[in-house]
Structure 1
């Protein structure tokens, strides 16, 4: 539910810079061994060869100052230092091999030496920045996986799959959340999206998930809905007491219960979210449920949390729930991604496309294709249905 980044961008977003770093490291390795030393060495040899094969009046050997600069961009600090020394030695040997009338002046020698020193310093700054960036990436990934815990296959008697995609805006982590919790009254599923981005949204998502995991085990689904509303309200009060200015967050969510005593139905509570799509061999339909206010805005209504609504669900139907990254994905002509129509076409062509693992993969690929890979928000695609011998036992699709 974070905003779209608009206007000119003066620098790459953090995820883009991280991607460039990782991509560069991959390109500079062959069979697991680094080949980052090859480009600066080739340039050094090329400059030396050209210099020895041109007239004395046309001196190119001073161009070796470029070699440590190239090394600084792709090699480590020690590798850059080696090339800085090699460039200086090569310059000295090549320069002294010419007749005295063709020898370069002392300023050129100082230029090559100074260029090597600056290249080593620049490389040290670059390596330190890359290490910090990759460390922060690992921290963000660990934080996300702590909130979105791995779900065992066939957890709670459900065949499920999920995929999470980080958007290309500045913050890497967002407020998308999902979980499956089995309990005394059946298995419950919660999928939602906290307003905003960054660690504040992650805090709110973690608070809601903690409450869900505890309440969904013990309580009836209506009580779980009440606990979720109360939890985000208490979370806001806590932030207000701390003097934070992000205490008014809200979250859209879908709470689904799979009762053990009624296999042909599901109980659904919708907090300001798009109702789930039921996807099956016979087509795609939106669950006929009413939508209440988002979590955190319940005080605006005198009726309390949205009601629990029981709706039929065939054993062959899969529930598909997505967050804003899918519903707000736009193409070059600013058209929204036609989720229901795309999924309906896929199921019509192949009824097995309704299987959760294949379904989330199809929606993920379709969203990226439609948006050209530029997501307006963090994207979660979650698909779930009851496990039966015919449905198989598929696990969570890793993002």
Structure 2
């Protein structure tokens, strides 16, 4: 399944995990990088003893603790710093330098070592705090935007969430899928803005959907319930500068297995795509609707539901504007209808995998907006 939440921009190749503030590279370069402090120590001794001028190797001895702090764990860096100090003294004694020179050279290496170790400790503490924050964020993300199962009722489900920020786990895009007495109902949407403000608004929208998906008789009633929830939320945070800008676009979906049809209710969101027999069709609404949470009268700009045939072999693809507004290096927008046409994709997960790979190729890996994808396909 392609239903994992990923932070965009993570490439293949050597994988780097930040541990204690140092980038520990796993792969063929690990041994070479770990040998750099040793090479600096050896080079410093050789230059200091056999070099053309006195103290030629002192810069290398001083640099070895700095290099160790970059490529080794904290204990290895401490050992390297201690060895550098001992070698500095031993070399000065070996070449019969005066006591003042021995002390000064030792202080040079020791001061640089202490500064390097202190910086490593600070970065290590920050790394530990960052890891703790990411762990909390991941738990919150799973609670706010849980991954749907691979199958809900008679519908196969595949999702993907990729944030424009490589360090983020979740943003303002959202989706949800529920099995209800009216059929399988699904939702995809996008909150205006980014950051914690968008996440909090997204949490209200998805919670309202899950709460009313099994009770609302129609998709329009379900959308109105979500709209009221967002309006109340805006009223609760009315003293904040961006309170009036907390709205969301959305498309609500209802798949009826008995009727072989899918109903769509649009609220200002990019239309879904129907993939059938290698063709990709954009399911435009008859009457476009306004986004949720604007607080307008219920009949203002509210569309009805559009119904389309939906049978075995079809796939409904819903995306956020991170897909439709993805641009290549020439500034051209990505167009799913043409880019996905003729592709040999048979399942919902294949559709999602193909779309993500194609968007990444189209943009060259550069993403300027979060991207959420939801694919639904009827199954027996």
Q: TM-score, normalised by structure 2?
A: 0.87
Tell me the equivalent position of 2:325.
328
Question: Cα–Cα, structure 1 residues 48 and 99, in superposed 2: closer, same or farther, change >3 Å?
Answer: same
The answer to whether the 8 A contact 2:273-2:283 is kept is yes
Cα separation, 1, equivalents of 2:373 and 2:45: 57
Is contact 2:92–2:102 with CA below 8 Å preserved after alignment? no
- Selected match of 1:226 from 213, 224, 240: 224
Gaps in structure 2 of 5+ consecutive residues: 1-7
Instruction: Using the TM superposition, give the Cα deviation of residue 105 of structure 1 relative to its aligned residue in structure 2, in angstroms.
Output: 5.3
1:331-353 deviations in whole A, cap 9, x for unaligned? Answer: 2111111222111142xxx2xx1
Structural mapping, 1:67-86, within 5 Å: 67-86=64-83
SS of match in other structure, 1:344: coil
Shift of the 42–100 alpha-carbon distance from structure 1 to 2, 3 Å rule, reads closer
The one of 134, 139, 162 equivalent to 2:136 is 139
Deviation for aligned residue 1:181: 0.5
- Cα 1:196–1:173 change in 2 (3 A) is same
Distance in 2 (alpha carbons) for counterparts of 1:83 and 1:148: 46
Structure 2: distance between partners of 1:331 and 1:379: 15
1:11 alignment partner in structure 2: none
1:55: how far off? 4.1
**Residues 365 and 235 of structure 1, relative CA distance in 2, 3 Å threshold:** same
Given the superposition, is the C-alpha separation of residues 49 and 157 from structure 1 closer, same or farther in structure 2, using an over 3 Å criterion?
farther
Which residue does 2:43 correspond to in 1? 46
Instruction: Spell out the pairing of 1:2-13 with structure 2 (5 A cutoff).
Output: none
Which piece of structure 1 moves more, 246-255 or 92-101? 92-101
Separation of aligned partners in 2, 1:120 and 1:25: 12
Query: Any stretches of 5+ residues in structure 1 without a counterpart?
Result: 1-13, 389-399
Q: What is aligned with 1:386? A: 378
Q: 1:283-310: CA deviations, max 9, x gaps?
A: 1111142321111235067446321222
Deviations 1:236-295 (A, max 9, x none): 11111xx22232211111100012431x21111011011110012141111142321111
Residues 305 and 122 of structure 1: CA distance in aligned 2, closer, same or farther (over 3 Å): same
**Partners of 2:264 and 2:73 in 1: CA distance:** 55
SS at match of 1:299: coil
Correspondence list, 1:117-136, <5 A: 117-136=114-133
Shift of 1:140: 2.5
Instruction: Tell me if the contact between 2:274 and 2:281 (Cα under 8 Å) persists in the aligned partners.
Output: yes
Q: Deviations over 1:68-90 (max 9, x none)?
A: 11122233333322221111001
Q: Which has the higher helix share?
A: 1
Task: Write the distance in 1 (CA, Å) between the matches of 2:291 and 2:64.
Answer: 59
